[in-house]
Structure 1
Amino acid sequence: MLAASSAAAQTRPAHLLTPAQRAALDADIERAMQQYADVPGLAVAVVQGDSVVYAKGFGVRERGKPERVTERTLFAIGSNTKSMTSALVGTLVDAGKMRWDDPVWTYLPGFRVADPYVSREATIRDLLSHRVDVENNISAWYRSPLTRAQLVERLRFLKQDASFRSRFLYNNLMVMTAGEAAAAAGGKPWNALIRERLFAPLGMTATLTSSRELTADADVAAPHVPFGGTLVPVPHVDADNIGPAGSVYSNAVDMAQYLRFQIGRGAIGGKRVLSEASIAQIRTLTTPIGAWQATVPDSDVTVAGYGLGWLVESFRGHRAIRHNGSIDGYLAEMQVLPDDRVGVVVLSNQMTLPLPEALANHILDVALGLAPRDWIGQALARDRAQEVQIAARQQTAESQRLPNAAPSLPLDRYAGTYADSLRGEIRVAFEEGKLVLRYHAGLAADLEPWQHDTFRAAWRTPNVYSLSPMLVTFAVDAAGRATAVSNALLGTFQAAPRARTAATGGDR
């Protein structure tokens, strides 16, 4: 397994960026934002050794408005939160309040998934390394009113997607559960615990645990999502219920402190926050990963696997840990080369373009003095090629639609409530001659007949489901009753009693 390096490698000197290199980075980033015209704003931080050598903002907080992004502008960092939760657990391990290989039920006695064996044997390490191998379900938590405690209660409906500990299956709910276990062990909610045990010692004074803590006058970048052929700002999503897996907001200044802490192997400014033993556990490859597509193919960037909250990689022959994070309207990239004592974070308020990773790779090339690659240009070309492929697949799907394949039932007979024990309720209403699907708060889509009992969901407002075309299909029994509605991303929902009664009402 890949683990922490030797003491000699830990002290490899970092060659600080020169003023000329920093000025060149300014120009590179501005040029990249011109290439990626749909990225309103960026914030970048670079740390070498124990020095913050670069922290700067670019672009605007919201498209069409003049307020500029600075190094202190807040962005959601999405799944980069996971490594912070692992570090929090590490502090509790150091304090003798937790152990990596304790069963989850040690801290959460009610923890259950569908498989009794997995319920009994799953450990904190399993949760943080994505090897419990239950289904990765987004619809249970995304914009859901359920609290973390309620989500943990519903985990008993999560079925195995693969044999326990057999493969890497990314799962936000499992990392959230690890955070709840930490809260139980620490005697405080995860939000308070991570502020006390991680953010405060690191001097991350501006960092928030979720969007609930944003103030009306906050210096925060507006999230942006493609919708209806253009890029639009969207409200901040409330992801507190998945908090330990992805709800943190931070800025370049604070994230630089987090990079210092990682480069310092758990210490910052001469103060130890996390033991080297826990750092080693976190960075040890726990779950191997198969082929992983890099930003640029044939780039000598390879993913070996996942540790605890970090991907374990090789960046052009240099040992690396990294993660990215995407949540409504934001995309963030964080990379640390422990042996070279360099770290980079790139924060963006646009979630669909690969600029943060490509830019971070470019910065590492500069910091390491490597022969440059056109990470940014090649990633852009690859992204555009993917857009062409997606458009071609959509055209193919359109061409394969059966002609005159009308719905098998009158539209009002699809209306009703459909429920799932894990995912909650979907309500389908017949309104003004068409079907409307409503799910969690703010999620409403007009259902347009596609083919037989399959409908295309046209979302009324931008959200994670609206990023790609979505088809939903009703199951109809021999008596002509709609018995279920399903979609690969949302899941399957069974008709509730009297589900065929027409429902009405406006958007939630």
Structure 2
Amino acid sequence: MDRWFRVGASAVVVTCVGAGLLAGPSVAAPDPDYAPVIARLTTDITTSMEQNGVVGLTIALVDGDRVVWTRGFGYADRKAREPVTKRTLFHIGSASKTASAIAVMQLVQRGLVDLDEPLATYVPEFRLLPRYKRNVITVRTVLDHHSGIPGDVFNGMLTVGKPDPDFRTWLVKALSRMYPERRVNTVYAYNNSGYVLLQNLVENVIGLPFDTYSRRYIFRPSGMTGSTFNTTSAPASRLTRNYTATFGPDGSISSVTTQPREYINGWTAGSITSSAVDMAKYMQMLLAGGEGPKGRVIKASWLHRMWKPQEVTPLDISFMHFGLGFAVGDPGLDWAGKVVWHDGATVWNHSMMKLLPGSDLGVFVSVNTVGGAGIQSDIATEALTLAYAAKTGRQPPAPEQAPKSPLTTLTADQLAARTGYFGGTASLYKVTSDGAALTLTSNAGTPAATSQTLLPHADGWFRPQGKELPLVRFRTVEGRRLMVTRIPLSGALVTLIAGEKLPETTLRAPWRSRLGTYRAVDANPHVDPSLVAREIQLRELDGLLVMDASSESGTQALTVRQDGVAFTAGLGFGLGRGKGECLIPAKTATGVPTFTYLGVKYKRIA
């Protein structure tokens, strides 16, 4: 979504130019008073950290070339009572992708890389198994997450306690044994694996180690002396410790546990360690159109192209769209102008960077604890809302209210046309009809299943009985039957895909004979189990082949191709993410069923 707030742009330009003919000597506007903003944020951050068990947090707020605020809260090392400071290093996770994209765009700017050339032109070691004809994965489709490369091949991408310097070599080999998830430019699907390959691209084209290149051409001209992509070189004395907060049944914090050091081995997907001080400099460089204190990083015209959504397909039903390395659009801030941003998450560090380029405002927030709500995003939105109000006098609009619409009646056939199983992000939905209303069951076929009655309304949306939200609707887009929903997010109502209807099918004998529980044979032991499932169960549900993974992949329905290869099916809040991943069956020498999924081999144990 690209909400530019350009209404009346021509009139504004004419008015401003004409006003210059009549105006007297210009008077510089006074600097905004940000003291009340800082005071409010200090109180709210402290409260939010206490409520969510967050041990440490860092924040940077900038207004153009003015650093409004950099500060640490809580502890970098709770046991040693070492506080977080503005120079404490945090893993910024996938916010690193913005710098990775800049590295590629520097080469585009120099004429060394063409965005619309195949990725394999610059990374000849990359290949996938053939699935589609005339399916060219370009550099652009990698940068804007429309490539169809299997995206979450996490086996070694991020490790705990020990780095994996061979991960990229392993990834290239693993991808060569996988199929594309879908045709290019079908749907947005956030993609870590594709971004890992950008390190190969830069090193192949320029002939320098990526660590050297990024320091010389990104960090040094930006003045970021303490930041690095090299996950092993960040000094432990400056790096925050990691924590997990757990909560009791009543929602109170029951424990906070110290966790080991983590290493992000897919550098260009998310390995930067940085501080509030350095991230302030990075945001200032971006807001200055690519000009850093020690030199230009990228031309403003190229940077602005990065902030423009690229391919937006009919299936890209979301509150944001992707440019080249940056997300564009934010329902909590779109009222203030164009928003560009990127968040980031490792296992335990979670970050958010948001910019309002039209107002020269930027904020970065990072936390060192997982377990509570994602406070980094809420704090970042609040910080920009308060700063924008202090600078312009404009206040955010009132929260968007659910639209009103009377009940209506649909025929039994009309209701029946909306029933079936729908594959969501990491869940299955089942929709049934009693002839008068629909019943929507989330987590269908699992012990966590919950159901609610949906009533039809005259505006075409279904609403839960006795509630205004969420709204649910059924649409056909590009020949695919979708269940879409409208939910509140940051004061706005946003429309998202909840699930895609799955075809009715009968599970064939070869896969029925493979049902059971499987255990990972060759998973990297240093990868957190939330990223790589150690056990996967295959089961049948009303003719569907269903996979239950112990990782964040969750429950997935699979469609089976004629040759026996299965693919995760559906669409969800993350659109194509996690969908189209191949599960390739095999057997051991003794006939025990096995399969490979996301580069990991699984063997049946029961």
In the superposition, the TM-score normalised over structure 1's length comes to 0.72
Tell me how far apart the structure 1 counterparts of residues 388 and 74 of structure 2 sit (CA, whole Å): 27
**Alpha-carbon distance change, 455 to 27 in structure 1, aligned in 2, over 3 angstroms:** same
Moved more, 58-67 or 319-328: 58-67
User: 2:212 aligned to 192, 215, 218, which one?
Assistant: 192
User: 1:361 aligned to 359, 378, 381, which one?
Assistant: 381
Structure 1 residue 92: deviation in Å? 1.9
Corresponding residue for 1:330? 349
Moved more, 187-196 or 132-141: 132-141
Corresponding residue for 2:71? 56
- Are 1:19 and 2:19 matched, yes or no? no
- Are 1:236 and 2:261 matched, yes or no? yes
Tell me how far apart the structure 1 counterparts of residues 183 and 30 of structure 2 sit (CA, whole Å): 43
Structure 1 residue 27: deviation in Å? 1.9
Structure 1 residue 261: deviation in Å? 0.8
Structure 1 residue 100: deviation in Å? 2.1
User: 1:80 aligned to 95, 107, 116, which one?
Assistant: 95
Corresponding residue for 1:113? 128
* Counterpart residue type for residue 211 of structure 1: T
Moved more, 149-158 or 314-323: 149-158
Contact 2:327–2:342 (Cα < 8 Å) also in 1: yes
Corresponding residue for 1:34? 50
Contact 2:224–2:281 (Cα < 8 Å) also in 1: yes
Moved more, 222-231 or 275-284: 222-231
Structure 1 residue 38: deviation in Å? 1.6
Moved more, 248-257 or 487-496: 487-496
Tell me how far apart the structure 1 counterparts of residues 134 and 256 of structure 2 sit (CA, whole Å): 43
Q: Deviations over 1:87-120 (max 9, x none)?
A: 1112222333223222212212232223376887
Structure 1 residue 245: deviation in Å? 0.9
Q: Secondary structure at the match of 1:288?
A: coil
Structure 1 residue 310: deviation in Å? 0.7
* Counterpart residue type for residue 107 of structure 2: L
**Alpha-carbon distance change, 129 to 34 in structure 1, aligned in 2, over 3 angstroms:** same
Q: Secondary structure at the match of 2:339?
A: strand
- Written as runs of structure 1 = structure 2, the 5 A alignment for 1:367-386 is 367-369=387-389, 370-371=394-395
**Alpha-carbon distance change, 143 to 31 in structure 1, aligned in 2, over 3 angstroms:** closer
* Counterpart residue type for residue 143 of structure 2: L
Q: Deviations over 1:117-162 (max 9, x none)?
A: 6887322111111111233233444457543133224323332333
Corresponding residue for 2:200? 180
Q: Secondary structure at the match of 1:61?
A: strand
Structure 1 residue 26: deviation in Å? 1.7
Aligned identity (percent) is: 24
Tell me how far apart the structure 1 counterparts of residues 247 and 567 of structure 2 sit (CA, whole Å): 23
Q: Secondary structure at the match of 1:173?
A: helix
Structure 1 residue 415: deviation in Å? 9.9
- Give the RMSD, CA atoms, in angstroms: 4.3
User: 2:223 aligned to 179, 203, 218, which one?
Assistant: 203
- Written as runs of structure 1 = structure 2, the 5 A alignment for 1:261-280 is 261-269=285-293, 271-280=295-304
Q: Deviations over 1:164-191 (max 9, x none)?
A: 2121111111111123211211112222
Contact 1:211–1:236 (Cα < 8 Å) also in 2: no
Contact 2:517–2:537 (Cα < 8 Å) also in 1: no
* Counterpart residue type for residue 312 of structure 2: P
Tell me how far apart the structure 1 counterparts of residues 59 and 45 of structure 2 sit (CA, whole Å): 9
Q: Deviations over 1:414-455 (max 9, x none)?
A: 899x7xxxxxxx22xxxxxxxxxx721235788699999999
Tell me how far apart the structure 2 counterparts of residues 485 and 168 of structure 1 sit (CA, whole Å): 21
**Alpha-carbon distance change, 200 to 91 in structure 1, aligned in 2, over 3 angstroms:** same
* Counterpart residue type for residue 244 of structure 1: T
Structure 1 residue 18: deviation in Å? 2.5
Tell me how far apart the structure 2 counterparts of residues 67 and 182 of structure 1 sit (CA, whole Å): 38
**Alpha-carbon distance change, 454 to 341 in structure 1, aligned in 2, over 3 angstroms:** closer
Corresponding residue for 2:588? 496
Structure 1 residue 356: deviation in Å? 0.8
- Written as runs of structure 1 = structure 2, the 5 A alignment for 1:31-430 is 31-35=47-51, 37-115=52-130, 121-143=136-158, 145=164, 146-224=166-244, 226=246, 230-240=255-265, 242-269=266-293, 271-288=295-312, 290-292=316-318, 302-303=319-320, 305-314=321-330, 315-352=334-371, 353-369=373-389, 370-371=394-395, 397-398=446-447, 426-427=520-521
Higher helix share: 1
**Alpha-carbon distance change, 446 to 231 in structure 1, aligned in 2, over 3 angstroms:** farther
Structure 1 residue 216: deviation in Å? 3.7
* Counterpart residue type for residue 126 of structure 2: F
Higher strand share: 2
Tell me how far apart the structure 2 counterparts of residues 255 and 448 of structure 1 sit (CA, whole Å): 40
Structure 1 residue 80: deviation in Å? 0.4
Corresponding residue for 1:386? none
Tell me how far apart the structure 2 counterparts of residues 28 and 374 of structure 1 sit (CA, whole Å): 20
Contact 1:266–1:274 (Cα < 8 Å) also in 2: yes
**Alpha-carbon distance change, 269 to 196 in structure 1, aligned in 2, over 3 angstroms:** closer
**Alpha-carbon distance change, 94 to 487 in structure 1, aligned in 2, over 3 angstroms:** closer
In the superposition, the TM-score normalised over structure 2's length comes to 0.61
Contact 1:17–1:367 (Cα < 8 Å) also in 2: no
Structure 1 residue 313: deviation in Å? 0.9
* Counterpart residue type for residue 249 of structure 1: T
**Alpha-carbon distance change, 260 to 143 in structure 1, aligned in 2, over 3 angstroms:** closer
**Alpha-carbon distance change, 455 to 322 in structure 1, aligned in 2, over 3 angstroms:** closer
**Alpha-carbon distance change, 142 to 18 in structure 1, aligned in 2, over 3 angstroms:** closer
Structure 1 residue 263: deviation in Å? 0.3
Number of paired residues? 429
Moved more, 46-55 or 362-371: 362-371
Corresponding residue for 2:523? 439
Moved more, 267-276 or 357-366: 267-276
Contact 2:141–2:184 (Cα < 8 Å) also in 1: no
Structure 1 residue 195: deviation in Å? 1.5
Tell me how far apart the structure 1 counterparts of residues 39 and 446 of structure 2 sit (CA, whole Å): 48
Tell me how far apart the structure 1 counterparts of residues 584 and 526 of structure 2 sit (CA, whole Å): 19
Tell me how far apart the structure 1 counterparts of residues 53 and 285 of structure 2 sit (CA, whole Å): 33
Q: Deviations over 1:305-363 (max 9, x none)?
A: 10011111152241010110111101100101111111011011124522111111111
**Alpha-carbon distance change, 14 to 239 in structure 1, aligned in 2, over 3 angstroms:** farther
Tell me how far apart the structure 2 counterparts of residues 449 and 173 of structure 1 sit (CA, whole Å): 25
Tell me how far apart the structure 1 counterparts of residues 398 and 374 of structure 2 sit (CA, whole Å): 13
Tell me how far apart the structure 2 counterparts of residues 191 and 227 of structure 1 sit (CA, whole Å): 40
**Alpha-carbon distance change, 34 to 174 in structure 1, aligned in 2, over 3 angstroms:** same
Tell me how far apart the structure 2 counterparts of residues 106 and 342 of structure 1 sit (CA, whole Å): 38
Corresponding residue for 1:410? none
